[in-house]
Structure 1
Amino acid sequence: MNFESFIEYGESAVFVIMIIASILAIAVVVERAIVFIKNTKDSKLLLTEIVDTVRKGELSDAHKFTETYPENVYARFASFSAEHSKKGKESLGELMEGKAIGERVEFETRLSILNTLGNNAPFIGLLGTVFGVINAFYRLGTLGNTGADVVMRTISTALLATAVGLAVAIPVVMANNYFTRKLKIIQANLEILSREFLASVSRK
Structure 2
Amino acid sequence: MNLLVLLQAVEPTVEIAGQAAQNVPEESYLSLVMKGGWILLPIFLLSLVAIYVIINKWLVISRLGRKDSVWLSRVVELVHDGKIEKALKFCVERPYASAKIIAAGLKEYDKEESEIQEAMEIEARQQVSVLENQMNWLGITASIAPMLGFLGTIFGVIKIFYDIALANDIAIDTISTGLYQKMICSGAGLLVGIVAYTGYYLLNGRIDKVVISVDKESNEVLKAIRASKRNNGL
Asked if these proteins are the same fold (TM beyond 0.5), I'd say yes
Structure with the larger helix share: 1
| Aligned counterpart in structure 1 of residue 53 of structure 2, from 28, 43, 60 | 28
Comparing 71-80 and 95-104, the one that deviates more: 71-80
Aligned to 2:189: 165
Change (3 A) 1:166 1:59: farther
Q: Counterpart of 1:150 in 2: which secondary structure?
A: helix
Distance (whole Å) between structure 1 residues aligned to residue 83 and residue 189 of structure 2: 52
Larger gyration radius, structure 1 or structure 2: 2
Distance (whole Å) between structure 1 residues aligned to residue 135 and residue 83 of structure 2: 34
Residues 8-52 of structure 1: CA distance to partner in whole angstroms, max 9, x if unpaired?
xxx7332111011111222222222222222234x1435652674
Distance (whole Å) between structure 1 residues aligned to residue 124 and residue 83 of structure 2: 18
Aligned to 1:182: 206
Distance (whole Å) between structure 2 residues aligned to residue 199 and residue 66 of structure 1: 17
Residue pair 1:54, 1:196 contacting (<8 A) in 2 also: no
Tell me which stretches of 4 or more aligned residues in structure 1 moved more than 6 Å: none
User: Where does the alignment leave 5 or more consecutive residues of structure 2 unmatched?
Assistant: 1-35
- Per the TM alignment, residue 193 of structure 1 is displaced from its structure 2 partner at its CA by 2.7
Q: Which residue identity is paired with 2:138?
A: L
Residues 66-111 of structure 1: CA distance to partner in whole angstroms, max 9, x if unpaired?
3653x22222222222222221111111111111100011111111
- Per the TM alignment, residue 57 of structure 1 is displaced from its structure 2 partner at its CA by 5.6
- Determine whether 1:136 maps to 2:157: no
Comparing 94-103 and 49-58, the one that deviates more: 49-58
TM-score (norm. length: structure 1): 0.82
Comparing 19-28 and 73-82, the one that deviates more: 73-82
Comparing 191-200 and 95-104, the one that deviates more: 191-200
Aligned to 1:39: 64
Change (3 A) 1:181 1:54: farther
Distance (whole Å) between structure 2 residues aligned to residue 80 and residue 154 of structure 1: 62
| Aligned counterpart in structure 1 of residue 37 of structure 2, from 12, 36, 40 | 12
Aligned to 2:33: none
Aligned to 1:53: 77
Change (3 A) 1:138 1:89: same
Aligned to 2:87: 62
CA RMSD of aligned residues (A): 2.4
Distance (whole Å) between structure 2 residues aligned to residue 56 and residue 187 of structure 1: 24
Aligned to 1:4: none
1:59-98, aligned counterparts within 5 Å? 60=84, 61-66=86-91, 69=94, 71-98=95-122
Q: Which residue identity is paired with 2:88?
A: H
Q: Which residue identity is paired with 1:35?
A: V
- Determine whether 1:102 maps to 2:137: no
Distance (whole Å) between structure 1 residues aligned to residue 164 and residue 70 of structure 2: 67
- Per the TM alignment, residue 194 of structure 1 is displaced from its structure 2 partner at its CA by 3.1
Change (3 A) 1:23 1:132: same
Change (3 A) 1:46 1:162: farther
Residues 138-193 of structure 1: CA distance to partner in whole angstroms, max 9, x if unpaired?
22223344532122111112211111111101111111112111111121122223
User: Where does the alignment leave 5 or more consecutive residues of structure 1 unmatched?
Assistant: 1-10
